[in-house]
């Protein structure tokens, strides 16, 4: 078994308290919290995460949105802006099982999914679940692993199940993969294949903190890691309830059409070689539901879709060679589309 | 080869030649030009095929034209298709004939072979030039000059110019040539990708990706813009002259006159000036001789009827001449107003001496019914003046059959009411006629109310009681003041003053009148044969009596102390004799009891137009009409413009009212609609939508940006920041946006009552108005752009359709060639 290059183990097991809720936990009560409860819980999680990641409310909100939308998050930014910190803070603020995988070039698929090992006592093969069997999986530097290993995540991310040696193991909700990748250091990396990227609901970049936030960060990080002080503010079952609430969010026909139009517009766009998939539409609407719920609304407005369009769509798009020469990034293309596409209104 | 542009050059030439249509009587001329253009185009193609220099290209065009003309007009004399000396001579002869014919006839000319040859040659020459410039030298724009030259021929010959259709055809032909040229030049850089009007929103609609990757440069928009400009220019050129009241030469200068297609204004030297000149000629030469079968002695020979008094002098309204006015041996129009009085048909054979120059009107006894004369002579229907556009009466013999009305005094006295158009045309008195003259007219005729007695009294006053003396040395009246001086002070003059004054006074009294000019009967040299000399030139007033038509009076003193050969007509004489003392004359019978006359007026006094009382007003009214600068059309135009300007405002108010009215009416119970549909149809949602649309219209009206990609809340946020609204305004804006958002996207319905939303919309509108400048505010009120955009959209759709059609037409040659 390969060992991570970093000092810490590439697998990190969470406190045992969370393990109870890991597999086969009781299903969430049907009478979960309403929208108000959701907002309360969500605010608690947000506050917890923001106590670690300072000055990035939009990023935190997006991360939370993806969590509630049953999606996966790809955080892409230069080193040292707190990608991993965000992932870990989010993971830790929810009292659920969290695994962290440090992707390295020699990481094997079975290192992620788990292996069947022969149990000599029982005289049978026994499945040793990999780190993917957790509620939140933090994949650090995902583009450092070989494509073979990266694609080990394909099945579990989309189908929420793992198949090893012909046996399929269900993953327990909530299940969320938070991956980070570094866009600058390209030496020895394997860019994520399109199929893999398409499975991430959203890609966000942290961006540098503003000077005030950075100053405050110096203060807090001076004494001890704020992550250590972070205690879970919500239970995994709470998150499951929240997801249920989000699923019940109303999306009007007009907004659905708007999402379809927006995604469709990327497909024929002259500056894009590859447009967004129907899965992107699904993710977009799902994320919009969560986004609206976080805004304490029981219906989705086009603004939600507009706000989410760039993080949800941009990483799935491939610009044409001309657009690349013109330094047109897919983010700009999507932003332009959002500006141009009329919002649905009656009488049209 | 440049096949396409050669074709376009030919088409442009032909389209331009359409403008020649008013010059010809029949339409065959077009085919003559068509053949010439074909020949020239073929020759040009050949020259380019052989890659010959431009000069040879020109020669080829000319040779092609010559071959065509030779083939078409002198095929019998030529060697196969080549011109022989005989055929060339034939062509030259034909051309000369055509030239003569073209000079002989006024437009429209008959399509003689010679004229057809000239047309073919002319159009062909233009085609040669256009072909050389546009195709060989690739200068399409200067090719417009020969086209313009061809175009301006009818405009120069015919005053009323060219039909707008013909103009449009020519303009579009030239535009097509320019477009083909531009296309050719772009085409030099590679294959042209033709694109019809494509929905640019295709990528956004998301339904179907475009068939081909949209990588081509977007030249279609540019081309469409060019076409739009061209279309607009032609439309403006066609529409503006039609719409603006003052751009026609007539009307503006108050020349009035009948309009009508294909006419030409006749211009002659001032008849009154020539009258004085003739009267004072020393030699007193013979002007004409004639034979008449009228036993009572012939009537005056009339040249002109001057129907218009412009305040200074009498003139005739410009004659609009067209081919249908030709005499051609047919019967002339019936003399106006002649129905009751007995008529004698008189035949007069006139010979005008060949020494007489520039007599472009025929002297004939009134009222001619049939004239046999050689040359292009025409008749002016209302006045029965006979004139020619280029022929002179000098040296001509002609036979006139005329209807001489012989009204009795009783018939004249019992004349019916005047027709309205006669009143309108022949009783106009300019404002600047001095009041003394008006008073004088009333004074002379005081006590008599019938038109005849008034006329007779006037004539008597001039000839007997007024103390006038005939004096040829008196200066010709130049201005209105001269006439007044003649009437009030000098009382010396010759026929011109007498005739003009009496006609004017008749008009003042409300009797339709005009001044006729021509010759007295002259002197009888042998029985039935008369000689008219230049001293017999004369002017006399004609007054209109319904039933008898135009009736001559003679205010000029006759005899040795006056106009020697003038004769007072019989019907005016009884009154003269009676006017001496007793009132027993037949003419004055109705006049003796003026009270009864006033009480039971003759047939219909209202229509009779007796402007004794309201003379001033009536005259003013007439004045306005004749004076040239008529106020009424301008006022009407201004009102129309104001109305047009008020249309957007009215539309806006109407839309606003309708939107809210739909809400206040109780919602109709409607069948269950599907959930998505219900969201739009709900009454509460309807209120929100109405408020939102209303606010959108207000924002557009005030020139605020409205982004289609903004959701309600984004819009409210942006507007709130932009306008720096106060708390109340911001709240209202937020309420409207929230209601709209709920109505659009939520399951729950907006809670705001329509009245509240309406008040909110008002608040926001006021905020809009307060935030923009005064100009924008007024524009929002008067010309709300929100209503304009609807119209604009409709117009643009229509325009795009039209452009699609033109684009397809443009491609037609290419497509045909590809097959």
Domain ranges for chain B, please list them.
Answer: 3-192, 285-405, 420-516+537-626, 648-663+675-783
Strands A98-102, A11-12: parallel, antiparallel or unpaired by DSSP?
antiparallel
pLDDT at A181 over 80: yes
**B450: nearest Cα among B594, B568, B548:** B594
Residue of A nearest to B707 (CA): A342
Q: Which two tokens stand for residue B298?
A: 């012939």
Phi, psi (degrees; rounded to nearest 5) at B77: -90, -10
Q: What is the pLDDT of residue A323?
A: 84
Among the residue ranges A237-246, A294-303, B380-389, the one predicted with the least confidence is B380-389
| Start-end of H helices in B18-53 | 29-49
Picking from A269, A299, A302, the nearest residue to B711 by CB comes out as: A302
Q: What is the pLDDT of residue A285?
A: 92
Q: What is the pLDDT of residue B268?
A: 55
| Start-end of H helices in B50-80 | 54-73
**Cα separation, B19 vs B16, whole angstroms:** 6
Average pLDDT (A36-47) is: 84
**B732: nearest Cα among B691, B690, B776, B781:** B691
Residues in A 325-344 with any Cβ partner in B closer than 8 A: 337-344
* DSSP collapsed to 3 states, B645-671: HHHHHHHHHHHHHHHHHHHHCCCCCCC
A346 and B689: CB-CB below 8 Å? yes
Q: What is the pLDDT of residue B607?
A: 38
The number of beta carbons lying within 10 Å of the beta carbon of residue A17 is: 11
Picking from A260, A267, A300, the nearest residue to B745 by CB comes out as: A300
Q: What is the pLDDT of residue B413?
A: 80
Phi, psi (degrees; rounded to nearest 5) at A231: -115, 150
Q: What is the pLDDT of residue B658?
A: 79
**Cα separation, A41 vs A3, whole angstroms:** 37
When scoring B203, B716, B742 by the number of chain A Cβ atoms within 10 A, the one with the most, hence best to mutate, is: B203
Q: What is the pLDDT of residue B616?
A: 41
Which residues of chain B are under the pLDDT cut of 70? 1, 104-108, 155, 157-162, 187-188, 190-223, 241-274, 281-283, 560, 574-631, 663-682, 790, 810, 813, 817-819
Q: What is the pLDDT of residue B193?
A: 54
Q: What is the ipTM, given to two decimal places? A: 0.76
**Cα separation, B714 vs A305, whole angstroms:** 12
Q: Could you tell me the end-to-end alpha-carbon distance of chain B, in angstroms, rounded to an integer?
A: 18
B745 and A342: CB-CB below 8 Å? no
pLDDT at A164 over 50: yes
Q: Which two tokens stand for residue B583?
A: 């009132």
Residue of A nearest to B749 (CA): A299
Q: What is the pLDDT of residue A210?
A: 84
Q: What is the pLDDT of residue B264?
A: 52
* B665 interface with A at CB cutoff 8 Å: no
Q: What is the pLDDT of residue B669?
A: 43
CB proximity list for B94: less than 8 A, separation 6 or greater: B73, B74, B113, B114, B117
* A298 interface with B at CB cutoff 8 Å: yes
Question: B99: number of CA atoms within 13 Å, CB side?
Answer: 8
Q: What is the pLDDT of residue A281?
A: 92
Phi, psi (degrees; rounded to nearest 5) at B505: -65, -35
Q: What is the pLDDT of residue B605?
A: 39
A346 and B203: CB-CB below 8 Å? no
CB proximity list for A64: less than 8 A, separation 6 or greater: A42, A45, A46, A49, A90, A290, A294
Phi, psi (degrees; rounded to nearest 5) at A217: -60, -40
CB proximity list for B322: less than 8 A, separation 6 or greater: B260, B261, B262, B263, B264
At residue A284 the predicted structure's pLDDT band, cuts being 50, 70 and 90, is very high
When scoring A252, A255, A348 by the number of chain B Cβ atoms within 10 A, the one with the most, hence best to mutate, is: A252
CB proximity list for B679: less than 8 A, separation 6 or greater: A252, A253, A254, B685, B743, B744
Confirm whether B420-516+537-626 and B648-663+675-783 share one CATH topology.
no
Q: What is the pLDDT of residue B584?
A: 38
Q: What is the pLDDT of residue A135?
A: 86
In words, the CATH class of domain B420-516+537-626 is: alpha beta
**Cα separation, B428 vs B28, whole angstroms:** 46
B711 and A260: CB-CB below 8 Å? no
A254 and B745: CB-CB below 8 Å? yes
Asked if B60 contacts B42 with a C-beta cutoff of 8 angstroms, the reply is no
* A323 interface with B at CB cutoff 8 Å: no
Q: What is the pTM of this model?
A: 0.48
User: What is B648-663+675-783's CATH number?
Assistant: 1.20.120
Asked if A204 contacts A59 with a C-beta cutoff of 8 angstroms, the reply is yes
DSSP annotation of A70 reads T
* B211 interface with A at CB cutoff 8 Å: no
CB proximity list for B147: less than 8 A, separation 6 or greater: B12, B13, B16, B126, B130, B170, B173, B174
**Cα separation, A235 vs B604, whole angstroms:** 110
> Minimal Cα–Cα distance from B793 to chain A, Å?
14
* B218 interface with A at CB cutoff 8 Å: no
Q: What is the pLDDT of residue A187?
A: 73
**Cis before B116? omega within 30:** no
**Cα separation, B306 vs B308, whole angstroms:** 6
Which domains does chain A carry? 11-15+30-244 (3.40.50.300), 249-340 (1.10.8.80)
Chain A residue numbers with beta carbons less than 8 Å from the beta carbon of B693 are 347
């Amino acid at each position: 078994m390969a060992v991570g290059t970093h000092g810490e183990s590439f697998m990190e097991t969470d406190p045992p308290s969370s393990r109870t809720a890991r597999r086969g936990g009781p299903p969430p009560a049907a009478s979960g919290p309403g929208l108000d409860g959701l907002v309360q819980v969500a605010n608690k999680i947000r506050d917890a995460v923001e106590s670690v990641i300072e000055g990035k409310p939009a990023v935190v909100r997006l991360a939370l949105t993806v969590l509630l939308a049953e999606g996966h998050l790809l955080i892409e930014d230069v080193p040292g802006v707190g990608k991993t910190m965000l992932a870990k803070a989010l993971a830790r603020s929810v009292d659920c099982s969290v695994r962290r995988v440090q992707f390295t070039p020699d990481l094997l698929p079975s290192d992620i999914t788990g292996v069947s090992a022969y149990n000599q006592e029982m005289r049978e093969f026994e499945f040793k679940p990999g780190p993917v069997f957790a509620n939140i999986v933090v994949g650090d530097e995902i583009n450092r692993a070989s494509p073979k290993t990266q694609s080990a995540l394909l099945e579990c991310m989309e189908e929420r199940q793992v198949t090893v040696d012909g046996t399929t193991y269900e993953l327990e909700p909530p299940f969320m993969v938070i991956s980070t990748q570094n866009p600058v250091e390209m030496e020895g990396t394997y860019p994520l294949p399109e199929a893999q990227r398409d499975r991430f609901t959203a890609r966000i970049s942290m961006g540098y903190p503003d000077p005030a936030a950075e100053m405050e960060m110096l203060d807090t990080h001076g004494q001890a890691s704020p992550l250590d002080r972070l205690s879970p503010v919500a239970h995994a079952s709470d998150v499951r309830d929240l997801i249920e609430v989000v699923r019940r969010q109303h999306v009007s026909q007009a907004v659905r059409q708007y999402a379809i139009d927006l995604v469709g517009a990327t497909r024929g766009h002259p500056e894009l070689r590859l447009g967004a998939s129907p899965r992107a539409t699904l993710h977009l609407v799902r994320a919009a539901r969560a986004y609206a719920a976080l805004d304490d609304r029981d219906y989705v407005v086009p603004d939600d879709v507009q706000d989410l369009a760039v993080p949800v769509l941009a990483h799935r798009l491939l610009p044409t060679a001309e657009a690349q020469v013109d330094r047109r990034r897919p983010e700009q293309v999507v932003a332009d589309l959002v500006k141009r596409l009329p919002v649905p209104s009656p009488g049209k | 080869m440049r096949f396409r542009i050669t074709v376009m050059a030919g088409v442009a030439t032909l389209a331009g030649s359409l403008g020649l249509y008013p010059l010809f009587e029949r339409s065959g001329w077009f085919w003559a030009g068509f053949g010439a253009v074909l020949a020239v185009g073929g020759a040009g193609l050949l020259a380019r095929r052989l890659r010959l220099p431009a000069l040879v290209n020109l020669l080829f065009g000319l040779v092609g034209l010559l071959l065509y003309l030779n083939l078409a007009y002198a095929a019998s004399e030529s060697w196969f298709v080549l011109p022989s000396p005989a055929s060339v001579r034939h062509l030259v002869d034909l051309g000369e004939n055509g030239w003569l014919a073209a000079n002989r006839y006024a437009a429209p000319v008959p399509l003689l072979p010679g004229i057809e040859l000239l047309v073919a040659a002319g159009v062909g020459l233009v085609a040669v030039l256009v072909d050389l410039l546009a195709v060989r030298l690739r200068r399409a724009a200067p090719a417009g000059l020969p086209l313009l030259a061809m175009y301006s021929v009818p405009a120069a010959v015919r005053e009323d110019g060219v039909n707008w259709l013909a103009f449009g055809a020519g303009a579009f032909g030239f535009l097509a040539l320019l477009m083909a040229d531009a296309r050719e030049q772009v085409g030099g850089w590679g294959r042209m990708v033709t694109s019809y009007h494509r929905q640019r929103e295709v990528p956004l609609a998301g339904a179907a990706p475009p068939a081909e990757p949209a990588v081509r440069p977007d030249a279609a928009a540019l081309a469409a813009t060019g076409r739009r400009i061209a279309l607009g220019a032609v439309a403006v050129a066609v529409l503006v002259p039609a719409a603006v009241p003052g751009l026609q030469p007539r009307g503006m200068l108050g020349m009035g006159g009948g309009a009508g297609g294909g006419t030409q204004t006749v211009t002659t030297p001032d008849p009154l000036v020539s009258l004085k000149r003739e009267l004072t000629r020393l030699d007193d030469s013979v002007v004409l001789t004639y034979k008449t079968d009228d036993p009572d002695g012939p009537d005056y020979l009339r040249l002109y009827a001057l129907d218009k008094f412009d305040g200074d002098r009498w003139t005739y309204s410009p004659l609009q001449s067209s081919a249908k006015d030709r005499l051609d041996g047919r019967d002339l129009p019936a003399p106006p107003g002649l129905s009751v009085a007995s008529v004698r048909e008189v035949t007069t054979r006139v010979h005008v001496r060949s020494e007489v120059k520039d007599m472009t009107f025929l002297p004939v006894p009134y009222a001619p019914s049939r004239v046999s004369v050689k040359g292009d002579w025409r008749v002016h229907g209302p006045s029965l003046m006979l004139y020619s556009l280029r022929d002179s009466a000098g040296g001509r013999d002609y036979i006139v059959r005329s209807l001489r009305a012989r009204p009795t005094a009783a018939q004249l006295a019992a004349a019916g009411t005047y027709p309205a158009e006669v009143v309108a045309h022949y009783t106009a008195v300019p404002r600047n006629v001095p009041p003394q003259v008006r008073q004088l007219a009333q004074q002379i005729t005081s006590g008599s109310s019938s038109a005849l007695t008034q006329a007779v009294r006037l004539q008597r006053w001039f000839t007997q009681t007024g103390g006038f003396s005939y004096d040829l040395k008196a200066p010709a009246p130049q201005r209105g003041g001269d006439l007044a001086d003649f009437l009030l002070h000098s009382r010396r003059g010759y026929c011109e003053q007498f005739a003009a004054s009496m006609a004017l006074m008749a008009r003042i009294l409300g009797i339709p009148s005009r001044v006729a000019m021509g010759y007295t009967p002259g002197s009888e040299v042998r029985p039935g044969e008369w000689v008219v000399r230049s001293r017999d030139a004369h002017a006399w007033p004609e007054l209109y009596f319904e039933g008898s038509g135009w009736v001559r009076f003679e205010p000029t003193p006759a005899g040795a102390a006056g106009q020697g050969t003038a004769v007072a007509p019989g019907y005016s004489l009884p009154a003269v004799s009676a006017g001496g003392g007793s009132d027993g004359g037949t003419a004055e019978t109705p006049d003796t009891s003026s009270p009864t006359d006033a009480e039971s007026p003759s047939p219909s006094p209202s229509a009779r137009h007796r402007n004794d009382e309201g003379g001033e007003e009536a005259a003013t009214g007439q004045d306005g009409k004749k004076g040239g600068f008529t106020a009424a059309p301008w006022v009407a135009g201004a009102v129309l413009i104001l109305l047009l300007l008020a249309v957007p405002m009215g539309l806006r108010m109407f839309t606003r009212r309708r939107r809210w009215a739909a809400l206040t009416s109780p919602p109709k119970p409607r069948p269950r609609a599907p959930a998505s549909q219900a969201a739009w149809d709900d009454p509460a949602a309807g209120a929100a939508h109405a408020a939102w649309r209303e606010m959108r219209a207000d924002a557009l009206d005030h020139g605020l940006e409205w982004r289609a990609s903004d959701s309600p809340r984004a819009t409210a946020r942006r507007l709130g920041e932009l306008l720096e609204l106060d708390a109340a305004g911001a709240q209202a804006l937020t309420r409207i946006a929230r209601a709209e958002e709920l109505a659009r996207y939520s399951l729950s319905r907006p809670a705001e009552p329509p009245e509240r939303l309406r008040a909110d919309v008002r608040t926001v509108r006021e905020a809009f108005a307060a935030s923009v400048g005064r100009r924008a505010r007024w524009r929002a009120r008067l010309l709300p752009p929100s209503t304009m955009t609807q119209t604009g959209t409709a117009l643009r759709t229509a325009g795009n359709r039209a452009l699609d059609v033109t684009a397809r037409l443009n491609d037609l040659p290419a497509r045909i060639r590809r097959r």
